[in-house]
Amino acid sequence: MVLDHCLQLREKAREVFLGEALRWIDAWQQVCEGDIDRALRAAKCSGDHLFRVALWMLAARWLDIYMQIAPSTGALHTGVGFADALLLVGFSCAFLLVLSRSLGAAPLLARRDPYCVESLHHQV
């Protein structure tokens, strides 16, 4: 029974991976054919894809800044240490705290907006 469940999970993961790979191939094919607009629109409509790209950009930016600052600390410092990870977590928590308080301070939907119902059912 457990083995069957594991096999089902493996098949589901394979389907998800193949589906994601086919989506990437389709997007690159559109870019190569010159239909960049359609490829970008498909990427922007996927919230999951945007989230992964945003995380990748944040990580790459942090690494870029770290690589610029780390050489100035001298040869004794040879890697990412506990303090570096703690600073990253601390600034991330501070950012999330400020973001959550800012979003909680005002309503996300405008009151008495005559176009609110229309905008909720808008499709591109």
pLDDT per residue as tens, the chain (124 positions): 556 655 566 666 666 666 666 666 666 666 666 666 665 676 677 777 778 888 888 888 988 888 887 766 665 656 677 888 898 899 999 999 999 998 888 888 888 888 888 887 877 7
**Residue 35 counted as domain residue:** yes
Burial class (CB in 10 A: 0-12, 13-18, 19+), 113: exposed
Q: What pLDDT, on a 0 to 100 scale, did the predictor assign at position 89?
A: 92
- For 2-28, b/e burial (b = at least 16 CB within 10 A) is eeeeeeeeeeeeeeeeeeeeeeeeebe
Give residue for tokens 């950009």.
57
What angle separates helix 47-69 from helix 36-45, to the nearest 10 degrees? 90
**Residue 1 counted as domain residue:** yes
Q: What pLDDT, on a 0 to 100 scale, did the predictor assign at position 34?
A: 65
Q: Which domain range does residue 21 map to? A: 1-45
**Residue 80 counted as domain residue:** no
The H or E element containing residue 25 is helix 2-33
**Residue 124 counted as domain residue:** no
Report d(CA 4, CA 9) in Å as an integer: 9
Residues 6+ apart with CB under 8 A from 116: 109, 110
Q: What pLDDT, on a 0 to 100 scale, did the predictor assign at position 78?
A: 63
**Residue 54 counted as domain residue:** no
Domain count of the fold of the chain: 1
Q: What pLDDT, on a 0 to 100 scale, did the predictor assign at position 96?
A: 93
**Residue 9 counted as domain residue:** yes
